Structure 1
Amino acid sequence: MELPVAYQLLRTHLQARVRLSDDDFAVFQQYLQPLTLRKRQHLLQAGEPCTHLAFVTQGCLRCYSLNAQGQEHTLQFAPEDWWVSDMYSLLTQQPSALHIDALEDAQVLLLAQADMETVYARFPVFERYFRLLMQSRFVALQERVNAALSQSAGEKYQHFLRKYPGIAQRVPQHFIASYLGITPESLSRVRRQL
């Protein structure tokens, strides 16, 4: 039987990273819950505990925080083929400090935190996959902190373009400036110089 497109995308994503049998994926997909989000709709709001990992199969989501003055600080963009979540809240079950919303109409596959241990126990391949995913996230976080401390605005923007190809044409520039930690005016200058 042919898989729906969303599940095909996830299957391809997983198989590029770990060996996965048809039977393993057939059972794994039973733990996934499809969800459609409209543009600007929240997947998670600050103050709520994060209970799911979300794999984006269509559209683009954004993870951000708000400071005391109400300024947004974008932490991550999640286009198709990316996972998004508040990992701190997911793992500690503390209220989230982050918001996750859809920048475009989007579709995601949700994996509940409550099901993750069951999946790990039944299918060691998924424990390996999620360990690799967490390692990748840790490396990306370290790169991001280092870039914030040592790179120029132009270098940060060029790194952004490599990390998120095509996103610059899909999301408002002020969100990109927020991700880079610079003002929209500085981003405009950098873009003109490039």
Structure 2
Amino acid sequence: MNSVLPITEEDWQVITPYLSVVEFEEGEQLLCPPQICGFIAFINSGSLRSYHTNDQLVETNLLLRSINEFITDYESFVSQQSSTLWIQSIQKGDAIFLDRTGLYSLYETSFYWNKFGRIISEQIFVNSKRRTEQLLFLNPTERYLLLMKNHPEYFQKYSLKHIASYLGITPKSLSRIRNQLTKH
């Protein structure tokens, strides 16, 4: 949380009652539609993904997240409507879950937590806009090269199946792109 906004001991103390450590096994579902998302998870260890499943049960990764990152279904979290996303662990680990009810009560009483929420919302918006633009305006090879440039660690952390899904392509297409780039 300090990386988002430096925190004082007093501000830490008021949020503590709304935090819980959740351990998860590989493959465990932390959120399943139509549940309502009531948490933001800050990952201590392991890795998680959020994804959508279509009518043919094809999974498409929206986010791949690991240590010192957060994950939620923000639309469900804010609107308190049914989630359309699944959140699943890729690797065993644990995360600090921040409870929505507690956070929203702190928005009313704490300048720090109100500002923290605004900064998180802004980051989510910017990341969503970038992701949307990449999927709309870049071809698969450009998306792959951008991921290699901006997040080379993904290729050590995540399977090629998950990376392909995140890029919006099939594993076969990812293999073809990698082969073409290797030849050049």
TM over 0.5: yes
Q: CA deviation at 1:79?
A: 0.7
Distance in structure 1 (CA, Å) of the matches to 2:50 and 2:56:
18
Greater shift in the superposed pair: 101-110 or 23-32: 23-32
Q: Aligned-pair distance for 1:164?
A: 3.5
From 61, 74, 81, give the equivalent of 1:87.
74
The corresponding residue for 1:5 is none
Q: Distance in 1 between matches of 2:84 and 2:49?
A: 14
**Aligned pair 1:159/2:123, yes or no?**
no
Deviation at 1:163, TM superposition (A): 4.2
Q: Which moved more, 1:146-155 or 1:38-47?
A: 146-155
Residue aligned with 1:40, SS? coil
The answer to whether the aligner puts 1:121 opposite 2:112 as a matched pair is no
Does structure 2 conserve the Cα–Cα contact (< 8 Å) formed by 1:47 and 1:95? yes
RMSD: 1.5
- Corresponding residue of 1:147: 134
Q: CA deviation at 1:169?
A: 1.5
- DSSP 3-state at the match of 1:63: strand
Secondary structure class of the residue paired with 2:147: helix
Q: Distance in 1 between matches of 2:110 and 2:145?
A: 39
Q: How does 1:169-188 map to 2 (within 5 A)?
A: 169-188=156-175
**Structure 2 length-normalised TM:** 0.91
Whether the 8 Å CA contact 1:66–1:73 is kept in 2: the answer is yes
CA distance in 2, matches of 1:134, 1:98: 18
User: In the alignment, what sits opposite 2:5?
Assistant: 18
Q: Quick check: 1:53 aligned with 2:37?
A: no
Q: TM-score, normalised by structure 1?
A: 0.87
Query: How far apart, CA to CA, are the structure 2 residues paired with 1:56 and 1:164?
Result: 17
Give 3-state SS (helix, strand or coil) of 1:95's partner.
Answer: coil
Contact 2:107 2:113 in 1 (8 A): yes
* Structure 1: stretches of 5+ with no match in the other structure: 1-13
2:25 matched residue in structure 1: 38
Q: Which runs of 5+ in 2 are unaligned?
A: none
Q: Which has the higher strand share?
A: 2
